[in-house]
Structure 1
Amino acid sequence: MDKTHAWFSSALAEKGINLTSAQMEQFETYFQLLVEWNEKMNLTGITEREAVYEKHFYDSIALSFYVDMKNVRHIADIGSGAGFPSLPIKICFPHLHVTIVDSLNKRISFLQHIAAELGLSDVSCVHGRAEDIARLPEHRDHYDLVTARAVAKLNVLNEFCLPFARKGGTFAAMKGADPADEIREASTSLRELKGKSASTEAMKLPFEQSERHIILITKIDSTPKKYPRKAGIPLKQPII
């Protein structure tokens, strides 16, 4: 085991996640494919191996430090890009049924390839805008856990993501620096979209020590019929 795998495995073990050799191989294949495909399309600005393990893999899995994945079966990842955070979480917790929604078909092709190459079952990649997909009966008010990582401001994310969560489910918005201002700005959208702020968890990446925050929101009732609004409107006219 090289030093990157050693610290990664050890850091997760400290959090109660003990990876098998097969899971470590999945992460390494993921890294190699990410770098390979990144030469053909813009997936990430981070390609150095140590940084990918810390800033993409570890950072993604950190969601499971604050959400008990044993109580989660269906997870939706909105605007996942290169598969973060849902695919690293899926590697660690194989029982999860993962749905990834992304508006760019090239990224969907990459994600499908990753899932196939890693042998990940129960991964569905859906091409489309979150506002459109959230209106489909099979996705609306359905998921135990909905995630989004560095996609948009919280008052916009609430409209993108809360319609996917079931009543009693959780929306986890993964952010960088202190999101206190965003949370204040999002109070109206929370009320409108039947969400209630549960907690904001703070952590630092193990080496870079940059701040990360995870905003946990509980869905308290079904999504009102008028939400989400038509594609493009939540970004142009956030609920305030």
Structure 2
Amino acid sequence: MDVVQQRFAEWVYKLGITLTERQAEQFETYFRLLVEWNEKMNLTGITEREPVYEKHFYDSLTIAEAVDFNKTSSIADIGSGAGFPSLPLKIAFPHLKVTIVDALAKRIRFLDEVIAALGLDNVTALHGRAEEVARDAIHRDHYDVVTARAVARLSVLNEFCLPFTKSGGVFIAMKGTDVEEELRDSGYSAHVLKGEAREVLKLKLPLEQSERHLVIIDKKGSTPKAYPRKAGTPLKSPLVDPAASQ
């Protein structure tokens, strides 16, 4: 390991993750593919090596602060983009069965190449809208953990993600800045979709010291049949308390 990899290994060790040499190699291959593909398509605005390790790889693994992945078998990542947080989690916890949903076919092609190059098994990258994929019985109310990172406001994310989360499972929204307003606005949608916010973990990146928040929402029951609504509707008309607009 070089200095960047060693520093990364020390950061994630504090999250309870001990990286093997093979896992370190997988992260490095992932980094190289990310930079290579980013020249052809817009995957990330961050391409320097240490910032990628900190702001993408480490940031993704902070979910281990909220979930015991040794007791978790399945995860769905909604609107995954370049594979965050699900692929770093898969590298760190190889037993996970991972499903990635993204609406852009080009990103799915990138993810498929990363999955193949890293030799990851039990990872499926699906091209589709979350609202449509969640209607499939294979995915509905199915996953132990569902994640979304910087995709939309929480009132919208609840409708994207809670339908994938099994009863007794957890949806974790990865957010940057303060989330108090989003939490207030999202209470109604969480309730309708059988979710209940449990806590918000506040974290800081090790070098940059910028704030991150993990919003942890427990799934309390099966998703009502009316949800998610048809593709595009959650973004245009988020579920909000009708009484609040009167």
Match of 2:210 in 1: 210
Give the equivalent residue in structure 2 for 1:103: 103
Deviation at 1:72, TM superposition (A): 1.1
Q: CA RMSD in A?
A: 0.6
Name 1:35's counterpart in structure 2: 35
Matched, 1:153 2:153: yes
Aligned length: 240
**2 CA distance for matches of 1:124 and 1:136?**
15
| Alignment-mate amino acid for residue 83 of structure 2 | G
**Which aligned runs of 4 or more in structure 1 are off by greater than 3 angstroms?**
none
Name the structure 2 match of 1:185. Answer: 185
Tell me how far 1:3 sits from its aligned partner.
1.2
Residue 35 of structure 2 aligns to which amino acid in structure 1?
V
Is the Cα contact below 8 Å between 2:31 and 2:49 reproduced in 1?
Answer: yes
| Residue identity opposite 1:43 in structure 2 | L
Q: Distance in 1 between matches of 2:178 and 2:90?
A: 27
* Deviation per residue, 1:30-78 (Å, 9 max, x gap): 0000000000011000000010000000000001122110121110000
Per-residue CA distance 1:181-207 (angstroms, 9 max, x = gap): 100000110110000111100000000
| Amino acid in structure 1 at the alignment position of 2:154 | L
What does residue 87 of structure 1 align with?
Answer: 87
Query: Shift of residue 14 of structure 1?
Result: 2.2
Give, in whole Å, the separation in 1 of the partners of 2:164 and 2:216: 15
> Contact 2:15/2:62 (CA < 8 Å) preserved in 1?
no
Show structure 2 runs of 5+ residues with no match.
Answer: 241-246
Partner of 2:118: 118
Where do 1:1-240 residues align within 5 Å? 1-240=1-240
- How far, CA to CA, are the matches of 1:213 and 1:15 in structure 2? 15
Normalising by structure 1, we get a TM-score of 0.99
Indicate the SS of the match to 1:111.
Answer: helix
After TM superposition, the score normalised by the length of structure 2 is: 0.97
Q: Secondary structure at the match of 2:196?
A: strand
Structure 1 unaligned segments of length 5 or more: list them: none
Percent same amino acid at aligned positions? 62
Shift in Å at residue 178 of structure 1?
Answer: 1.1
Q: Distance in 1 between matches of 2:39 and 2:179?
A: 33
